[in-house]
């Protein structure tokens, strides 16, 4: 299973990222299941995200869950994770979005993201993404990359 977490440049420290990743993994294991979860942190450059018509300070957490996952459990997972996340970051509730998507829809979204790129663009994007993510994991223990290539 996959999780992509978008945060703003300079918004969350490396130590907070590590703490948040532990929070995500613990809640995922508790509510969703024991599946392996690959988490990639994606950092947006300043003045590249707009929320509610203003330059954004928001974070967006997306996770993949099994198709047809139980509605009540999914909602408890989302609200619990959202609350624990904000305890770490101190963010306002309006600055955080947490989503748990059915696996098939999550795959469709990721596929649509790649459809925009040329064949070379897809290879280049995935190579950079994986290289940055694995170098980050070697250095910091978490996989951090950035939106801008």
Interface ranges with other proteins (CB under 8 A): 6, 44, 47-53, 55-56, 58, 60, 71, 74-75, 78-79, 82-83, 86, 92-102, 105, 108-109, 112-113, 115-118, 120-121, 124-125, 147-149
Beta carbon of residue 58, minimum distance to other proteins (angstroms, whole number) = 7
Instruction: Between 11 and 51, name the residue whose CB sits nearer to other proteins.
Output: 51
Nearer to other proteins, 33 or 141 (CB): 33
Taking the least distance from each CB to other proteins, the nearer of 122 and 140 is 122
From 57, 64, 56, 58, select the one nearest 40 (Cα to Cα): 64
β-bridge partners, 144: 41
With respect to other proteins, which residue has the nearer C-beta, 15 or 70?
Answer: 70
Contact of 20 with 88, CB cutoff 8 Å:
yes
Question: How far is it, in rounded angstroms, from Cα 75 to Cα 129?
Answer: 30
CB of 56 to other proteins, least distance (A): 7
Minimum distance of other proteins from residue 98's CB (angstroms): 5
Task: Name residue, tokens 């996989």.
Answer: 143
How many CB atoms within 10 Å of residue 78? 19
Q: Which residue has the tokens 């990721």?
A: 110
Helix (H) or strand (E) holding 100: strand 96-102
């Amino acid at each position: 299973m996959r999780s992509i977490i978008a945060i703003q440049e300079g918004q969350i420290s490396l130590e907070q990222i590590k703490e948040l990743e532990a929070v995500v993994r613990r809640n995922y294991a508790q509510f969703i299941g024991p599946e392996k979860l690959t988490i990639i942190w994606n950092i947006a450059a300043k003045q590249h995200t707009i929320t509610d018509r203003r330059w954004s300070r928001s974070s967006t957490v997306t996770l993949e869950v099994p198709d047809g996952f139980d509605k009540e459990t999914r909602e408890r997972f989302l609200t619990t994770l959202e609350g624990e996340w904000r305890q770490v970051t101190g963010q306002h509730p309006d600055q955080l979005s947490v989503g748990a998507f059915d696996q098939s829809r999550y795959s469709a979204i990721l596929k649509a993201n790649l459809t925009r790129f040329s064949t070379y663009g897809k290879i280049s994007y995935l190579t950079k993404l994986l290289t940055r993510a694995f170098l980050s994991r070697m250095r910091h223990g978490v996989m951090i990359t950035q939106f801008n290539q």
